[in-house]
Amino acid sequence: MPLRPDDRRVPGSERACEAVDDRLMADIVADFRHGPASLPIASPEPHARGSGWVEPAPLRPYEGSRYVDAICDHFDQQDRLSAQGDRLAKIAEMVRTLASMQPNAEVERLKAEIEQLKSDLEKVRAK
C-alpha cells in the first residue's frame, strides 16, 4: 500500500520510502531537480580540429608470407614434374603404337627373300 498519494506513480516507491527517512529522500530529490550530474571532462584542453586524415601504413608483405610462397613453389614444381611425366608416358605410348604400325624389318627381309626365290623359280622353269 502506498504511504503517500504520489507513491502510486512509480511502482516500488513505497519500499524506498520505508528504507530511508524523509530528510534523506528530500536531499535525493533536490539533487535531481536540475538533472543528473554531468561527467567530468577527461582532457582539460580542447582537441585540435582536423580533417581526420591519417597517413596510411606502407604496403608490405605480411609476416610469414615466405612460408606460403615456399609451399606454393613446392607444389608448383610437383605439378610441373607430374605434367612432364604424363607427357613422357604419352610419348612412349605413341612410340609403341608407331612401332606396332610399322612393318617389322625381319618380315620385310623375308618378303624380299620370297620374291627373290619366286623369280629364281620362274627362271628355272623358263629353261
Other beta carbons within 10 Å of 13: 16
Q: Mind listing the pLDDT tens digit for each residue in 67-78? A: 999 999 999 999
Amino acid type, 121:
L
Once rounded to an integer, what is the mean pLDDT over residues 48-69? 85
Look at residue 48 and give its three-state secondary structure: coil
Is the pLDDT confidence value at 35 over 80?
no
Largest CA distance in the chain: 160
Cell for 121?
623359280
Question: CA 58, CA 67: separation in Å to the nearest integer?
Answer: 22
**Can you give the pLDDT at residue 102?**
67
- Which pLDDT band holds residue 1 (cuts at 50, 70, 90)? very low
Query: What does the domain layout of the chain look like in residue ranges?
Result: 1-33
Q: Mind listing the pLDDT tens digit for each residue in 68-107? A: 999 999 999 999 888 888 888 888 888 877 777 766 777 7
Is the pLDDT confidence value at 2 over 60?
no
- The region, left, alpha or beta by phi > 0 then psi within -120 to 50, assigned to residue 35 is left
- Which pLDDT band holds residue 3 (cuts at 50, 70, 90)? low
